[in-house]
Amino acid sequence: VAKRGGKGRHAIYAREMNADALDRLELEADMRHALDRDELLLHYQPIVDLTDGRVLGVEALVRWHHPRRGLLLPGAFVPLAEETGLITPIGRWVLAEACRQGVAWMQRRAGTAPLTLSVNVSPRQLQHGAIVEDVASALRTTGFPPALLLLELTEGIFMHSDDSTLEVLQALKALGVRLGIDDFGTGYASLRYLQRFPVDVLKIDKTFVDGLALAEEQGDSGEVALARAIVALGDTLSLRTMAEGVEATPQWEQLRRLGCTIGQGHLFGRALPPDEVAAFLELDAEPRLRLLPASAVGN
């Protein structure tokens, strides 16, 4: 082990920094080709009706099949894509691909209730309004019904928001799509913004849903109160509330009691490749509902 301290430690530190910086540069260079080389793909996580366990839709979640690093989750490359601006072409591809897949499922499932499609959008994609043409083009070229598309924005869009942000959101709404705030409760959304901006859905952040399980174990009503407050806020502003990261039956029960009617999480299903989603959709909602105690379901 090299000498820790003084110059020695400095050298080790510098070498690690260099390795990190090189790693980032390499990843960035690879990312520039990821689209041409068809290395990106989408997984889809089911979104369910919390009252009966039925699948209402799916959320598209991007993955990168990196030639040497394997399958990368968004945490490993989306932040860098946001910094470099590559998230704009990547996001454009995500929108088009998700809508294409959505139409393919609709055609195969003709006669069944149509599925909603949620797509994540970075604040960066809203700059200069590029997102409006990207969404319009994805809808136009695929024929996906705008009313079934939910764009998930993060509270980051409100950080430097001005009238131009409002105009972009209004232009998106004019296309007929719905807008949601993802990871709600963790960031910068003020009540004023929620009232002023054309938002339809609040997605309660997983950390609050985690708290619901703790509350169950520890009898801490403070955690439940936070989730309840978000649902009440949604009701007040006429917004739908959805819960993310539902992992356990007690959380599902609590959410139902709070009046939150839509959710997603490992309890219902993980993000899956498209062919496995198709199989998942064939499954009946009944087994999911059976996770709840009979008393909760009311029979």
Q: Which residues contact ligand C2E by CB under 6 A?
A: 45, 61-62, 73-75, 78, 87, 91, 94, 120-122, 152, 182-183, 244-247, 264-266, 271
Dig out the tokens for 95 from the structure.
């929108």
C-alpha to C-alpha distances, 34 to 46, 66, 97, 110, nearest whole angstrom: 26, 8, 15, 34
HSE-up of residue 70 (Cα within 13 Å, Cβ side) = 1
Decide: is 152 part of the binding site for Mg ion (CB under 5 A).
yes
- Whether residue 171 contacts residue 207, with contact meaning beta carbons closer than 8 Å, is answered with no
Closest CA to 179 of 171, 221, 290, 134: 171
Residue (30 or 210) nearer to ligand C2E, CB: 210
Decide: is 182 part of the binding site for Mg ion (CB under 5 A).
yes
Decide: is 244 part of the binding site for Mg ion (CB under 5 A).
yes
- Written as one string, the DSSP assignment of 105-134 is HHHHTTTSPPPEEEEE--HHHHGGGHHHHH
Decide: is 155 part of the binding site for Mg ion (CB under 5 A).
no
Residue (66 or 109) nearer to ligand C2E, CB: 66
Of positions 97, 134, 155, 183, contacts Mg ion by CB under 5 A: 183
Residue (244 or 253) nearer to ligand C2E, CB: 244
Residue (144 or 184) nearer to Mg ion, CB: 184
Cα 42–Cα 46–Cα 48 angle in degrees, nearest 5: 155
Residue 5 C-beta: closest distance to ligand C2E, Å: 39
Q: What is the DSSP code (8-state) at residue 4?
A: P
d(CA 48, CA 264) in angstroms, rounded, equals 6
Residue 290 C-beta: closest distance to Mg ion, Å: 27
d(CA 35, CA 93) in angstroms, rounded, equals 8
Binding partner of residue 62 among ligand C2E, Mg ion, none, CB cut-off 5 to 8 Å per kind: ligand C2E
Residue (12 or 214) nearer to ligand C2E, CB: 214
Of positions 101, 120, 154, 254, contacts Mg ion by CB under 5 A: 120
Residue 155 C-beta: closest distance to ligand C2E, Å: 11
